[in-house]
Amino acid sequence: MNNGLDSKIPGGPLEKKWSKHKFDSKLINPANRRKYEIVIVGSGLAGGAAAATLGELGYRVKCFCYQDSPRRAHSIAAQGGINAAKNYQNDGDSVFRLFYDTIKGGDFRSREANVYRLAEVSANIIDQCVAQGVPFAREYGGLLANRSFGGAQVSRTFYARGQTGQQLLLGVYAALSKQIAAGNVRMHPRTEMLDLVLVDGHAKGIVTRDMVTGEIASHAGDAVLLATGGYGNVFYLSTNAKGCNVTATYRAHKKGAYFANPCFTQIHPTCIPVTGEYQSKLTLMSESLRNDGRVWAPKAKGDKRPPAQIPEEERDYYLERKYPSFGNLAPRDISSRAAKEACDDGRGVGPGGLGVYLDFADAIKRLSEPVIRERYGNLFDMYHKITSEDAYKTPMRIYPAVHYTMGGLWVDYNLMSNVPGLHVLGEANFSDHGANRLGASALMQGLADGYFVIPATIGNYLATQTGKRPPPDHAEFKKAEEDVLARIKKLLNINGKRTVDSFHRELGLLMWDKCGMARNDAGLKEALNRIKEIREEFWVNVKAPGANEELNQALEKAGRVADFLEFGELMCLDALDRKESCGGHFREEHQTPDGEALRDDENFAYVSAWERTDGTPVQHKEPLVFENVHLAQRSYK
Amino acid sequence: MNFKLRVWRQENPKSEGRFANYEAPDIPSDASFLEMLDIVNEGLILKGDSPIAFDHDCREGICGMCSLVINGTPHGPEKATTTCQLYMRHFRDGQTIHIEPFRAKAFPVIRDLVVNRAAFDRIQQAGGFITARAGSAPDGNAVPIAKPAADLAMDAAACIGCGACVAACPNSSAMLFVGAKVSHLGLLPQGQPERMRRVLNMVKTMDNEGFGNCTNHYECEAVCPAEISVAFIARMNRDYAIASVRESVE
Ligand SMILES: Cc1cc2nc3c(=O)[nH]c(=O)nc-3n(C[C@H](O)[C@H](O)[C@H](O)COP(=O)(O)OP(=O)(O)OC[C@H]3O[C@@H](n4cnc5c(N)ncnc54)[C@H](O)[C@@H]3O)c2cc1C
Ligand code: FES
């Protein structure tokens, strides 16, 4: 039934799997490590941590990013925090509880063994970061402080003001800088990976474009690690940085890597609403705000009064009403849908009625304004900059926005894809968050993969590969370089009448409407047709000016959008196949009488891994087996 | 809103640059500065002109990738704000806006408004880290750190590495950037073992990269989007003095 997908989950009891696997894994002796060249694409938490750690172990590492410095990877933007099962608060947390919350939060569509491992190493991550000098928030007694995030009833989230991702990434960047200075890592910023190269069926390197000179070059390695982040920008508007792309993973997909669960995307409930068509990105207001903010919409349809004039009894604190035990901290998918429901019902606020309130009045009354300022000051400032509204005086307006992608390249327990040698880390893989990621768990996963998992598992592959690294002028590299260059020439020569952004916006709107917060059979089929049409027009009517041999931002974008135009189709296909609702994937045909997601464990408890072919993509199913948790309808009531 | 733009155009590091004039008509007041440039670029592309190259990524004020000198000020007129977080409603309708790259010997122009800030990376590589091998860290709560010290370290660590401090300084000094990193790590107990080596090596690299000296203009603090305080420069100078003395004694 699993069509040759071997997840390589070790045997034995759940709590022993990772230790046993580490013991069983092959080691490379220190003197031999420098004989291996490892190509790492991405310098975010996952890629940067992997590069620093593997460099320190003595491997020779090449690391790539598209920004001008590894310190600017998109991980930098994470605000709220990072989870770890430290139980410093003595509030009943444990590795098993973090594991359970993550499996349940993911709506039972992730692998038990991977998630357990994640929970297990979470504590080491905090230790590691503290040792590097990450200035986490502390209590007056000098101990580390915690806050709560959605989907949890314990306080296990560590944070550094509203800039947790920045501080964690700067820790990674510092460790990476040390390895660069030591000569163990060679860093290639402003360099974009445009193809994966296979030799005898194994991933043995990449082809890149130097974004300043346009030079196309080959980099050979004994193994390739992709840690290139998520594909949320397929929706054009998202909370991701402008450069986030699917290119690296999609080109690997075209070379044979299976893409798993592409339809699992996360819509974050608390973002600043869209204001206009010119808008280039959406801004997240961290979920941590829901620790103190109360979400509400007017009870009456079309109520246009300013919030202060709507009396208490005419407000609907809908999360508290519908989910009394989790209240405002209900998980993201559920909170987002509830906001959409209120707006679809005509009770939305702000321009276009696409917004609900996040109100701090009670918290300010209870704790005082300075306390709220200390906790969230930078978020309130950011809100003020964008909207010119003062959230200390009037509630924030928020609306859901695309934020994270749970889907990604399929990997086994070693983080290796079905293509031997190709490993995938961080948001770019599919492995740990199922159909919905809990807040503060992506940072945890990125660092777990980079600092602790890949250094232990990569030996299993490398040990079989001694002396097999091809030279970078191997025929396969030459061919890949020619293909890359031909595609660039083709894009530059179309010289049509529409800009890249106009295509991207059109695709994004379509994906948001048909493959966003709610999906249905007819809509997805319509999207599949439309995407083909948009793509066809793109290839005859796009205008990417300039040349390859220069810094050419329009060309960079064109290449990425061309990939999104193929990838969007795969997302819709996956969404169409999954005739159930789970986590962020809400199929309107499959809901409970009170509008909650209705899973179908009998038929859909599998990972859907897509293989690219010349015709329709072929689906492989990895069945999900639950031995330690009881499959239940997720309830936060 | 309508604007007139005077924008620095330069094809590559070797070519001569010049200012070019553009119209930016019908700009929504809620658009950000970079969205305004996006709109202008869409027009340029459709006309067959080359779009204005500028650096950006997160567009929420944290990655430090965006830059630009706007009407003479790095990151423009708003205090504690990066260019990507600057909104057009802060400009006057009809205003002429001058847009230039960050200028400093150590930040050569790559194209138009894009500059090379790799010198910052090299300073960091010279010592901006605490050695902590993955797997060998003690428990996170093993060493309590008083909240005021942790908070102060965080104030310094908030630097986004954009380089506005250098662009604002008449001497193109990088002291605020280096001072922030030296202070962040030096304020924490974990940072003590490497503290002296760190400051010596980072300052030496800073000098070698061609950044100028600090002569107390404090323009850096005024433009810093992360509001890094010049007090961190003083802290670095103290550390540097102690480290130099110790070095000469040893
Ligand atoms: C606004 C925001 C707030 C968030 N807040 C939180 C939070 O509070 N807690 C939490 O746990 N998670 C949060 N997340 C999610 C989390 O930040 C990300 O999932 C995580 O940081 C991803 O890390 P990564 O290392 O996998 O990828 P990234 O950090 O995205 O790094 C990708 C790297 O790959 C490189 N790259 C990409 N494509 C190419 C290519 N083709 N060629 C060369 N290089 C390439 C990039 O240059 C970059 O270095 C947030 C996300 C966003 C958008
Ligand atoms: S684009 Fe990231 S700080 Fe401006």
Q: Do A177 and B128 touch (CB under 8 A)?
A: yes
Token pair belonging to B239: 């550390």
Interface of A with B in 317-356 (CB under 8 A): none
pLDDT value at position A1? 41
User: Within an 8 Å CB–CB cutoff, is residue B89 touching chain A?
Assistant: yes
Structure tokens at A572: 């819709």
Ligand 2 centroid distance, CA of B171 (Å): 25
Which residue range is the domain that position B91 belongs to?
Answer: 3-111
Residue A378's pLDDT is 83
Domain ranges of chain A: 267-403, 475-612
Ligand 1 binding pocket includes A78 (Cβ within 6 Å): yes
Cβ under 8 Å to B: A residues 76-115: 76-77, 86, 88
Q: Residues A109, A111, A209, A332: which is the catalytic one?
A: A332
Q: Is A65 on the interface with B (CB under 8 A)?
A: no
| CATH 3.40.50.300 describes domain A267-403 | no
The pTM of the whole model exceeds 0.95: yes
Distance A253 CA to ligand 2 centre (A): 30
Residues B211 and B101 in one domain: no
Q: Which residues of chain A have pLDDT under 50?
A: 1-2
Residue B62 CB–ligand 2 contact under 6 Å: yes
Q: How far is CA A477 from the centre of its chain?
A: 30
User: Is A35 in CB contact (< 8 Å) with chain B?
Assistant: no
Distance A147 CA to ligand 1 centre (A): 22
Each residue's pLDDT tens digit, B177-192: 999 999 999 999 999 9
Chain B residues inside the 8 Å CB shell of A131: 130, 132, 136-138, 190
> What number is the ipTM of this complex?
0.98
CA distance A562 to A560: 5
pLDDT score at A544: 96
Atom of ligand 1 nearest to the CA of A450: 25
Provide the token pair at B230.
């010049």
| Residue A213 pLDDT | 98
Distance from the CA of B223 to the center of ligand 2, in angstroms?
15
**Among candidate residues B61, B79, B111, the one where a domain is terminated:** B111
Q: Are B173 and B223 in contact (CB under 8 A)?
A: no
C-alpha triplet A446, B190, B165: angle, nearest 5°: 75
- Secondary structure (3-state) at A405: strand
Residues in Cβ contact with A195 at an 8 Å cutoff, skipping those fewer than 6 apart: A206, A207, A251, A255, A480, A483, A484
Contact (CB<8Å) A278/B87: no
Query: How wide is the angle at C-alpha A201 spanned by C-alphas A564 and A45, nearest 5°?
Result: 50
CB A244 within 8 A of CB A231: yes
Pair B142, B240 in one domain: yes
Q: Give the ligand with the smallest distance to the CA of A82.
A: 1
A487 is catalytic: no
CB B126 within 8 A of CB A173: no
Where residue A376 falls (left for φ over 0; alpha for ψ -120 to 50; beta otherwise) is alpha
The b-or-e profile of A420-454 (16+ CB within 10 A means b, else e) is bbbbbbbbbbbbbbbbbbbbbbbbbbbbbbbbbbb
Cβ–ligand 1 distance for A209 under 6 Å, the answer: no
Question: Do B7 and B78 fall into the same domain?
Answer: yes
Whether B129 and A170 lie within 8 Å, measured CB to CB: no
Nearest to A135 among B59, B157, B160 (CB): B157
- Cα–Cα distance for residue pair A268/A420, rounded to 1 Å: 35
Boundary of a domain, candidates B111, B145, B164: B111
Torsion angles phi and psi, residue B249, rounded to 5: -70, -35
One domain, residues B177 and B240: yes
* B138 shares a domain with B58: no
Crossing angle of helices B175-186 and B118-125, rounded to 10°:
30
Residues of chain A with C-beta less than 8 angstroms from the C-beta of B30: 275-276
Same domain (yes/no): B38, B137: no
Report the distance separating Cα A297 and Cα A139, nearest Å: 35
CATH number of A475-612: 1.20.58.100
- Overall domain count for chain B: 2
Query: Of B111, B127, B144, which residue sits at a domain end?
Result: B111
Q: What is the CATH number of the domain that holds B66?
A: 3.10.20.30
Closest ligand to C-alpha of residue A44 is 1
Is B146's Cβ below 8 Å from some Cβ in A?
yes
The verdict on B76 and B172 lying in the same domain is no
The answer to whether the CB atoms of B111 and A139 lie below 8 A apart is no
Spatial separation of the C-alpha atoms in residues A591 and A599, rounded to whole Å: 8
Task: Say which CATH number the domain at B171 has.
Answer: 1.10.1060.10
Which of B64, B87, B110 faces A72 most closely, judged by CB atoms?
Answer: B64
Q: What is the CB-side half-sphere exposure of residue A308 using CA atoms within 13 A? A: 4
Q: Which atom of ligand 2 is nearest to the CA of B82?
A: 4
- From first to last of its 250 residues, chain B has per-residue pLDDT tens of 999 999 999 999 999 999 999 999 999 999 999 999 999 999 999 999 999 999 999 999 999 999 999 999 999 999 999 999 999 999 999 999 999 999 999 999 999 999 999 999 999 999 999 999 998 999 999 999 999 999 999 999 999 999 999 999 999 999 999 999 999 999 999 999 999 999 999 999 999 999 999 999 999 999 999 999 999 999 999 999 999 999 888 7
Ligand 1 atom showing the smallest separation from residue A251 Cα: 41
Distance CA A512, CA A524 (A): 11
Nearest CA in chain A to B227: A378
3-state secondary structure of A212: coil
CA–centroid distance, A44 to ligand 1, in Å, is 6
Is residue B181 within 8 Å of A171, Cβ to Cβ? Answer: no
